[in-house]
A and B are shown apart, each in its own frame.
Chain A
Amino acid sequence: MPFITNNFAKLTALFIVWTLVITGCTYPSGEKVFHQIDSEVKAEDGDDAYQFLKTALETTQQAEIAEKFWYSGWVANDVQKRRTNSMYDGVVVRPHGYLVNARVAANPYRYYKWDDQYYLHTAHSGWVKLDEEQVPFDPLEGFTWWEPVLQDAIRLPDGEVLSKKTRVYQVMLKGNEWLRLDNPQFNRLQDTIAQTPGMDQILENTTVKMTLWIGDEEYTADQVRDWAARKGVDTDNGAEWKKWAEQNGFIRDEEEDLYRLHLIYQYETWINMPVPGAGYMDQQIFFRFYKYDDPGIKMRTPEEMEQYVQEDE
């Protein structure tokens, strides 16, 4: 009878269903081994780090082509199962200002500065005009604070940041050594540290690892001349564009007839630090700078910002 075959088919289906459901119910062990994390790095002596960083800072400071750039970065803290991120990305237009699309502890906000005009935006408040700044604008401030420890830097294998060739330098030190560096941030902390019971121990057990990626790009004379032409330099006049190249930090390599350019591309610091009652924190402070001199960088004018403020009120 056809009914039996039908029933039989149904029973078979039922059986398959149950087998599937039941076999899905055991979680067998994976391979019973621990990770083997090898943190050894192939490193060379990096005692030229400071000289190299200084050249890059000077270039970034003085060059017309480093006036505008994009940046993105974050501070990520892992404390126990909690990860607290703050993120920052946007554009810098020196000497006027910048735009920050930011997040603090997962809450987004925006901040705009142009000369002496400051605007802040949150989802609740809309755009708000602020009276004055709290920290003066100087994107290169702080890099030289590392100077005393850069003699001990190691040079890691060359890397690429967004397909730009870079030299990579790294410094590792203990928290208490780091805190001894002379800079306004740490100087004003000294009293707090001295007055806090147990803080010495915390800093003794803290480790800091800073890595810098500094551009080591090579340009042919033609490329540099084209760049100069884009900036409106009279390139028919050889002396004129060569002067421009020098002013913008291009270093001529006579032997190979090449121009080298050193800009800061990436900056990362890892802090591994004890937190009371919570194990150790892994904190990453990371910034990347890219598309220097991108003609696409445009910022709104303060007049436009003022309109936003009025709309939001």
Chain B
Amino acid sequence: MKNRWTSIAAWIILSIYLYFAYHLLFTPLVLDLSYWGVMLVTGLVLLMIWSIPPRLRRNVIIYSLLFLFMDRAFYQIEGSEWSVWIAALAAIPVLLVAWLVAWGYGKLSRQAIVLLLVSGIATTLWIPRNEVPILSHFFLKWNSEPVFAGKMFDYFPLTVYDIDRDGTDEIITLGNAEEQKLILDKLSEEEALKRDRDYRLTEENLYPYVFKWNGREMERLAAAEYDLKTVLDILPKDDPAFPYFAWEFTEESHRSVLNPLTDRQRLAEGMMQFGTAPFRAMTLNIENISRQLKQSDGVLDRALQVENHPDLHDIQIKDGEVSGYLKDQFFRVPTPATKIIDGLKWGGGRNGLLVLGNDLELITISENGDAEVTHVLSRKMLKNIASSEFSVADADGDGDDEVFVSSSYSRIIKPRSEGDWEILWTATDTNFRFADFIAAESGENNELITLDQSAVIMNPDRFHLRFLTGYEWDSALGLKRDWRTFLSFIHVNAADVDGDGEEEIVASIYNTHKIYVLEKHSYPVNEILWGATFGLIIFGWTRRVRDAVHHK
């Protein structure tokens, strides 16, 4: 009897170990260390196989392979868009194959087969596969359902902001899932089919989705509970499907609309007048930008406040100049820029404002309101400046800010009093991006949250190969890695959204329109898995030795 329970426990432990070691130890090793990782994993696996007592070896290997086979198969099923019932149906052949191999070829005991199948299903139901990679450093605190029901758009802007001024940030994005459901529920089957088979480009109504922590989960706030104008003001500027779709914000109906400026037939026919193609593209650009400018009355960008400099306020770019206030002092300076990036403190107390046009410009503003462009990072100095992103933070804590340039070959740069830029750090690959920054509490180091590439995946889809990684800035070594999760996110924000005083990570996954809140934990998951791996090897090895002695 005792033997039986020991054996059950052993199989269950093996399942749990396989599940976590595979996702959190072996896969990351390969992703991180490439060929070295493959060699290392191969070595570890051989060592483990060697350490299994010979009489159990065949069974354990078959059990493990089948478990991992089921893991992969269930992952495929999870990744599909099937309904629960079809997914359950699809799982049947997987279980059948596993059972047949385990029984017919593996000659596993009935008990082992049952445990294999049950643990395979249980792990799947327990934690969705695609969320396992974060567990090494985070818990999934909450995730939303997709907030957008549609296929035309891969993501919308997302930000965190304390919109109700209660000291805790809310998550703010745009979507239409709930509203669409209401519409679809009312449609007859025929109407729904017709709608689904529409070949035209149709307008897309979008509504603010503001999520607030209610003590248990993030809950969507009703429209009356926040100010729409603020929402539209603070959402980062984004131009999905530019120039084919144009935003229109209507305050009264509490929604925004993405309107198509063309349709598929006109676009194809127009482009087939090949010579006119650039003229047609320009026409769409102008129609789109014209709509934006008419709505803003010619203002290119406006910021009531900037994140990184509390004294700068009411800034706007209009008619070829940027104007605003430093404390009570008005300033203005001509600029070809169209985007206000952030305030920047530099040179031991000088006040800067970073704006982006074709070049990145640093405008330095003196206390009496004199303002001039003191530093330029030009298009010739930075490849693809148009698609680069810039953010400002004080990474080394010396009171002067650094500029984080996210582009192919990302950089950390800092203005020097000579009027040029000092480069503190340069990425050596094209995929690395800075995402956000967690300011240090006293005695700790600042943390840079980044999206960093894996050593092996050469997937051309750039959204799926950047893994959430935490670094510390070290002026001597460069970036020192604190942690990494092997999952790709977009819209990564560090913010305290549950009011516990610690910053969570708010993010989304490309093309899912789902929002994730991750809470950092301090369990030494990696160490535990390494310990378990060597523990199992040593345990198996002692059993072997005992068996050998016993045999004599």
Residues of chain A whose beta carbon lies under 8 Å from any beta carbon of chain B: 3, 6, 10, 13-14, 17, 20-21, 24-39, 71, 73, 75, 77-84, 86, 88, 92, 98, 100, 102, 104-107, 109, 111, 113, 118, 120-122, 124-126, 128, 130, 133-145, 178-179, 183, 185-186, 189, 192-193, 195-199, 201-203, 205, 208, 210, 267, 269, 271-283, 285, 287, 289
Residues of A within 8 A of B353 (CB): none
For B, the interface residue count at a CB cutoff of 8 angstroms equals 104
Q: Are the CB atoms of B244 and A86 closer together than 8 Å? A: yes
Q: Mark B293-316, 1 if CB is under 8 A from A, else 0.
A: 110111111000000000000000
Q: Are the CB atoms of A197 and B381 closer together than 8 Å? A: no
Q: Within 8 Å of chain A (Cβ to Cβ): is B350?
A: no
SS class, residues of chain A in contact with chain B: mixed
Q: Are the CB atoms of B266 and A135 closer together than 8 Å? A: yes
Residues of B within 8 A of A272 (CB): 358, 386
Contact of B381 among A17, A34, A113, A275 (CB under 8 A): A34
Instruction: Give Cα A205 to B317, complex, Å.
Output: 14
Q: Are the CB atoms of A287 and B244 closer together than 8 Å? A: no
Contact of B272 among A83, A137, A273, A283 (CB under 8 A): A137
6 A–B contacts, CB within 8 A, in A order: A30-B426, A31-B426, A109-B264, A210-B278, A273-B285, A282-B387
Q: Within 8 Å of chain A (Cβ to Cβ): is B201?
A: yes
Q: Are the CB atoms of B275 and A125 closer together than 8 Å? A: no
Q: Are the CB atoms of A134 and B33 closer together than 8 Å? A: no
Contact of A30 among B245, B293, B294, B427 (CB under 8 A): B427
Interface residues of B in 249-286 (CB under 8 A from A): 264-283, 285-286
Instruction: Give Cα A122 to B265, complex, Å.
Output: 11
Q: Are the CB atoms of A100 and B479 closer together than 8 Å? A: no
Contact of A134 among B36, B269, B383 (CB under 8 A): B269
| Given A13-B43, A28-B479, A75-B281, 12 further pairs, Cβ under 8 A | A3-B545, A17-B40, A29-B425, A71-B274, A78-B387, A84-B244, A111-B268, A196-B290, A198-B300, A271-B282, A276-B301, A278-B239
Contact of B301 among A33, A138, A277 (CB under 8 A): A277
Contact of A279 among B240, B279, B356 (CB under 8 A): B356
A55 to chain B, nearest CB (A): 15
Q: Within 8 Å of chain A (Cβ to Cβ): is B165?
A: no
Residues of B within 8 A of A30 (CB): 409, 426-428
Contact of A24 among B32, B201, B296 (CB under 8 A): B32
Instruction: Choose the segment among B5-13, B59-67, B118-126, B191-199 that binds chain A (4+ C-beta atoms closer than 8 Å).
Output: B191-199
Contact of B319 among A17, A198, A273 (CB under 8 A): A198
A87 to chain B, nearest CB (A): 10
Q: Are the CB atoms of A269 and B336 closer together than 8 Å? A: no
Q: Are the CB atoms of B339 and A279 closer together than 8 Å? A: yes
Residues of A within 8 A of B199 (CB): 109, 120-122, 124-125, 128
Q: Are the CB atoms of B389 and A120 closer together than 8 Å? A: no
Residues of B within 8 A of A178 (CB): 282
Residues of chain B whose beta carbon lies under 8 Å from any beta carbon of chain A: 29, 32-33, 36, 40, 43, 47, 151-154, 196-199, 201, 237-245, 264-283, 285-287, 289-290, 292-294, 296-301, 318-320, 336-339, 356-358, 377, 379-387, 389, 406, 409, 421, 423-428, 432, 452, 471, 474, 477-481, 530, 534, 537-538, 541, 545
Instruction: Give Cα A122 to B198, complex, Å.
Output: 9
Residues of A within 8 A of B538 (CB): 10
B183 to chain A, nearest CB (A): 17
Known: A120-B199, A198-B318. A267 touches B285 (CB 8 A): no
Instruction: Give Cα A31 to B36, complex, Å.
Output: 25
Residues of B within 8 A of A277 (CB): 237, 300-301, 338-339
Q: Are the CB atoms of B277 and A75 closer together than 8 Å? A: yes
Contact of A100 among B237, B239, B272 (CB under 8 A): B272
Contact of A29 among B275, B383, B385, B478 (CB under 8 A): B478
Contact of B283 among A17, A84, A98, A189 (CB under 8 A): A189
Q: Are the CB atoms of B264 and A102 closer together than 8 Å? A: yes
Residues of A within 8 A of B277 (CB): 73, 75, 142, 267, 269, 285, 287
B395 to chain A, nearest CB (A): 13
Q: Are the CB atoms of A39 and B380 closer together than 8 Å? A: yes
Q: Are the CB atoms of A287 and B386 closer together than 8 Å? A: no
Q: Are the CB atoms of A82 and B426 closer together than 8 Å? A: no
Most A C-beta atoms less than 10 A away, residue of B199, B294, B318, B537 = B199
Instruction: Give Cα A280 to B337, complex, Å.
Output: 8
Instruction: Give Cα A178 to B383, complex, Å.
Output: 26
Q: From B426, which residue of chain A is reached at the shortest CB distance?
A: A30
Q: Are the CB atoms of A104 and B286 closer together than 8 Å? A: no
Residues of B within 8 A of A205 (CB): 336, 357-358
Residues of A within 8 A of B337 (CB): 279
Q: Are the CB atoms of A287 and B274 closer together than 8 Å? A: yes
A60 to chain B, nearest CB (A): 10
Instruction: Give Cα A120 to B263, complex, Å.
Output: 11
Q: Are the CB atoms of A267 and B275 closer together than 8 Å? A: yes
Q: From B537, which residue of chain A is reached at the shortest CB distance?
A: A10
In the A-B complex, the 6 residue pairs with the smallest Cβ-Cβ separation, listed nearest first, are: A142-B275, A197-B298, A142-B276, A198-B298, A143-B275, A269-B278
B423 to chain A, nearest CB (A): 4
Contact of B479 among A26, A92, A195 (CB under 8 A): A26
Known: A26-B479, A102-B264. A274 touches B387 (CB 8 A): no
Q: Are the CB atoms of B272 and A139 closer together than 8 Å? A: yes
Q: Are the CB atoms of B240 and A82 closer together than 8 Å? A: yes
Residues of B within 8 A of A273 (CB): 285, 289
Residues of A within 8 A of B239 (CB): 79-80, 82, 84, 275, 278
